[in-house]
Amino acid sequence: MEKALIVDDSRAIRRILGSTVRKLGFEVCEAGDGKQALEVLENQPGPPQLMLVDWNMPEMNGLEFVTAVRGLPAYNDSKVMMVTTETAAGQMIKALEAGADEYIMKPFTEDAIRDKLRLLGILD
């Protein structure tokens, strides 16, 4: 079973995203911020296929997390999608330049998540 890491300081958003990707066949692990997410990754047997990352979080924000993960060769094949309230085009560009593969704005629908995962080649 493929793995997905959900990184968001909102428990509700983690639950919603977790439910969505579980329906799509993923095993889910969660973290409340980027720092915690790096610790979760260290304790996993292999890299997740997918990381869904919020931008605005305490400790280490999503942009800092994406930059850190993209500096680690073990996660080169992992797909990273920012899931955020940041709607400015400049923010989207920053996220993509940092190494995010896709970007979706809150609020989102299950269909929108599915469509983005198809674009990433994760779903048929």
Give CA–CA dist 44/74, Å, rounded.
Answer: 12
pLDDT tens profile 86-119: 888 899 999 999 999 999 999 999 999 999 999 9
**pLDDT score of 65:** 98
Superfamily of domain 3-113: Response regulator (3.40.50.2300)
**pLDDT score of 114:** 94
The predicted model scores a pTM of 0.95
- Map out the domains of the chain as residue ranges: 3-113
pLDDT tens profile 55-86: 999 999 999 999 999 999 999 999 999 999 98
12: tokens are 């509700």
Would you say 17 and 83 are in contact if contact means Cβ atoms under 8 Å apart?
yes
**pLDDT score of 87:** 84
